[in-house]
Amino acid sequence: MATASAPSAPKTGTALAVGAAGLAVTALGFAVSPAQHVATAYLVGFAFCTAIAIGMLLWVLIHHIFDAGWSVVPRRQLEHGLAAFLPLAVLFLPLLISAWVKPGLIWPWMDLSHPLHGGHGTIADDPLYVKKAGFLSLNMFTGMSVAFFAIWIWLSSRLRKASFAQDKDGDVKWTLKSRVTAAMGIPLVALSLTFAAIYWMKSLEYHWFSTMYGVWFFANCMRGALAVLVFIMIWLLGRGDYKGIVNTNHWHCVGTLSHAFTIFWAYVTFSQYFLIWNANVPEETFWYNLREINNSDGLPNQWKYVGMVILFGHFFLPFLYLLSYRLKSTPAGLRRISIAILATILIDLCYNILPALKNEHGDPLPFLSLNLLWVISSVVGVGGFGVWAYLRSFATADAKLIPIRDPRIVESLTHHDATAPEAGAASTAH
């Protein structure tokens, strides 16, 4: 017999302390490394944590637009995760301030006097920049970034308010309101995450063209959110909160979705690489060339092997692993692959961002360098504040452990797959 009352409040101080310590280590990096290196590494950590929050928002929106039944129970933890957008907006301020105080520190195109590689003039003389100047301007960057967070925070607030309010009165109007939010929210989030990926990451090397970049980032958002959800569910199961509530088939659904987006990520990434390789246009191929061989001596660089790690870690390993019903239907099995997925997402973001840091020969700085330390400390710092926001929301008196008065809560509690070996073992909660 399980209850769905408000769970006991976990302590939030540890998460806050870990986050502050991580940011402090990153800040100390400015004393021992060039400011550009530390700031760019911070961008990696920030993008990683923001991608997970965006993925959580999208999963809640998708739940409502499809009127899904099985996902009502885990949906509440995703709603708590949406509380991270407020601290993420604050933690973006150092990047935004640096863009105004020292243009070109992270994004070279912000400094029109920044020399082009090879010594052929400056950014202001670059025809490709001139053609994109209306989009790549500091004012546009600032306004769009503010708009991204405004959209994400606004949608999150509507979804959380409706869900928590339904716990009190059980009115179906809150479900209908969330469905309306989802209908307008999905296109808004799709556009905002695409432009965020272009502004924050792709524009680091603005000469490059790719029509798949936003979809690549979307795939990482969805996979990262599912991986974090696995850890949250395991934590709640260990506390005893989810005992008799979550069954084998909930785990199986999460694992199946993770498997699906593994294939989706591979499709998108292969399509991007194949189209660029097949067209063989210099404005596109240079991006991959930088990540395979050095300009100075033509020898393979570290990023070529990082690319191979991403290929096997992002696709082959999880694809083959999640083919197993047992491995994608048990907490222990999902925990192992979720660790690998999150690690590879971080490496993938490093692969997309850090090669923008180049030496005097125009070759990207190696992956295994001091910059990796600042990436890790940034992930710990930003992630610590994200966990703190989640735990604060988790402890709120307005929210139960699960959406106890959602119209489809019984369907979720009794969710089962008739073909599953343990279909009859689902427990119900009262």
More confident call, 317 vs 424: 317
156-170, 328-342, 412-426, range with the lowest pLDDT: 412-426
Q: How many CB atoms lie within 10 A of CB 94?
A: 16
Average pLDDT over residues 301-323: 97
pLDDT at 430 over 60: no
Mean pLDDT of the chain, nearest integer:
93
User: Rg of the chain's alpha carbons, rounded to an integer?
Assistant: 22
pLDDT at 162 over 70: yes
Q: What is the pLDDT of residue 416?
A: 78
What does the pLDDT look like over 192-222, one tens digit per residue? 999 999 999 999 999 999 999 999 999 999 9
Q: What is the pLDDT of residue 419?
A: 45
What does the pLDDT look like over 15-29, one tens digit per residue? 999 999 999 999 999
Q: What is the pLDDT of residue 422?
A: 41
Band (119; pLDDT cuts 50, 70, 90): low
Q: What is the pLDDT of residue 426?
A: 35
Q: What element of type H or E holds 267?
A: helix 248-279
Q: What is the pLDDT of residue 420?
A: 42
Hey, what are 375's tokens? Answer: 């990436």
CB 66 within 8 A of CB 233: no
Q: How much is the pTM?
A: 0.94
Q: What element of type H or E holds 75?
A: helix 72-81
Using CA atoms, how far apart are residues 350 and 149, in angstroms rounded to an integer? 23
CB 129 within 8 A of CB 109: yes
Longest dimension (CA), the chain: 73
pLDDT at 375 over 90: yes
Alpha helices of 170-247 — where are they, by DSSP H? Answer: 173-200, 213-239
Q: What is the pLDDT of residue 166?
A: 95
pLDDT at 163 over 70: yes
DSSP state letters, 110-175: G-TTPBPTTSS-BGGG-HHHHHHTTTS-HHHHHHHHHHHHHHHHHHHHHHHHHHHHHHHH--THHH
Band (425; pLDDT cuts 50, 70, 90): very low
Q: What is the pLDDT of residue 397?
A: 67
- Residue 160 phi, psi dihedral angles, 5° rounding: -65, -45
328: closest CA among 261, 373, 282? 261
**Which among 52-56, 121-125, 204-208, 239-243 has the top mean pLDDT?**
52-56
Residue in the structure block whose two tokens are 């310590």: 21
Band (361; pLDDT cuts 50, 70, 90): confident
CB 70 within 8 A of CB 411: yes
Q: Could you tell me what percent of the chain has a pLDDT over 90?
A: 87
Cα separations (Å) of 20 from 36, 41, 382?
Answer: 21, 17, 9
Q: What is the pLDDT of residue 241?
A: 94
Q: What is the pLDDT of residue 423?
A: 36
- Alpha carbon 211 to its chain's center: 19
8-12, 374-378, 410-414, range with the lowest pLDDT: 8-12
Q: What is the pLDDT of residue 4?
A: 56
Average pLDDT over residues 221-242: 97
Average pLDDT over residues 413-421: 64
Using CA atoms, how far apart are residues 391 and 77, in angstroms rounded to an integer? 10
